[in-house]
Amino acid sequence: MEAIVLAGGMGTRLREVVSDVPKPMAPINGKPFLFYLFQWLKQYPVERLILSTGYMSDCIMEYFGNSFCSIPVEYVIEEKPLGTGGAVRYALQKTSGSNILIINGDTYFPIDLNNFYLLHTNKNHLFSIALKRMQNFYRYGSVECHENTIIKFNEKKICSDGLINGGIYLVNRQFFESKPLPEVFSLENEILEKEAGSSILKGFVFDNLFIDIGLPEDYHRAESILTTR
């Protein structure tokens, strides 16, 4: 399994607590946030990590180098912002497998990747998304799903109970290679929202811990939960 990690975020909303590194490198108990993502990934048959970087990419490259716990690490550097979709498409050039794992570099959602991979490949799905059920949330849009097919993505609003996009995807490369896509585009706007209801997008619910370090309060929550042990 090859994994693309989207690690180009600037962390604008985190500037008051983390100002000198890109968001995925925000320090959590002495280690960058990406370290905890990689600790989770190394438990599974991940053969290669491809980091899609942009802002302060040198900071990431200097810290991780060419490997993490014997897993080869490669880098794709955006010379200009490509959007989440453009970043994925660009990083796919570094991959060779049929089904590619894609992960947001600023969220921690340690699902069982073996189970997710089986759910994705057993019926030859093209695009699968790991979903998280949450209560009383307002920061995320909700996802409507029927029998594992994603029907609709709703705008952010106060929601007492619902599913959210967990930021972890398994994508068959044929999906991207068969589409005439621009160089710069949003994965969320140009792919997810447009394909919702078409039977292409599949959603699978996991109940694991979910941490998003996009805001200072959640960053501090991550500090209280994640440890190097």
pLDDT digit string, tens, across residues 118-160: 999 999 999 999 999 999 989 899 999 999 999 999 999 999 9
Cα Rg of the chain, angstroms: 17
CATH placement of domain 2-225: 3.90.550.10
The full DSSP string for 110-156 is: ---HHHHHHHHHTTT-SEEEEEEEEEEE-SSEEEEEETTEEEEEEEE
Instruction: Record the pTM.
Output: 0.93
Task: Quick: pLDDT tens for 169-185.
Answer: 999 999 988 888 889 99
Tell me what pLDDT residue 17 has: 61
Tell me what pLDDT residue 56 has: 82
Tell me what pLDDT residue 3 has: 97
What distance separates the 2 farthest-apart alpha carbons in the chain? Answer: 46
Question: What average pLDDT score do residues 40-58 get?
Answer: 93
